[in-house]
């Protein structure tokens, strides 16, 4: 790496670097992007809400974990952990400003344990 001259420095900083940053989701420039930013689950205060739902067709029972942070990576990892611990299928989706995870079967007891281990408060 060569020493920067004062002229180089002026060149480097003459353009605002944030103007060239692209959104990782829509690939638009940050200034054009209209994506909703992901929330950081670590700094986001939330209480997950557990409820049981019966699917219309076949009447299969699923445990729904609602009011989770809207953060795909977080939801994906938590869904993977829950599926493993519960030994069942599951999926996640982003519903408006909340993240939602569905785990097949009535797994509230196990889910409460997993959430507690992850430091996630829940009710229901
Ligand atoms: Zn975007």
Does 64 lie in the same domain as 31? no
pLDDT tens digits, one per residue of 20-64? 788 887 888 877 888 777 788 778 889 999 999 998 778 899 999
- Domain span at 105: 47-123
Angle ∠(106,112,118) on CA atoms, nearest 5: 135
- Using alpha carbons, select from 94, 89, 88 the residue that is nearest to residue 66: 94
Assign 19 a pLDDT band (cuts: 50, 70, 90): low
Would residue 41 count as lying in a domain?
no
CATH of the domain at 103: 3.30.780.10
Cα 28 to ligand 1 centroid, rounded to whole Å? 6
Cα 9 to ligand 1 centroid, rounded to whole Å? 30
Cα 32 to ligand 1 centroid, rounded to whole Å? 8
Question: Does the pLDDT at position 11 exceed 60?
Answer: no
Give the total number of structural domains in the chain: 2
């Amino acid at each position: 790496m060569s020493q920067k001259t004062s002229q180089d420095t002026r060149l480097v900083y003459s353009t605002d670097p944030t103007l060239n940053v692209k959104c990782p989701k829509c690939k638009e420039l940050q200034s054009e992007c209209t994506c909703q930013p992901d929330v950081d689950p670590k700094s986001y205060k939330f209480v997950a809400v557990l409820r049981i739902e019966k699917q219309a067709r076949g009447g299969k029972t699923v445990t729904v974990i609602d009011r989770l942070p809207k953060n795909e990576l977080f939801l994906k990892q938590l869904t993977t952990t829950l599926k493993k611990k519960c030994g069942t299928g599951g999926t996640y989706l982003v519903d408006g400003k909340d993240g939602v995870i569905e785990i097949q079967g009535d797994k509230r007891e196990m889910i409460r344990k997993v959430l507690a281990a992850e430091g996630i408060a829940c009710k229901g």
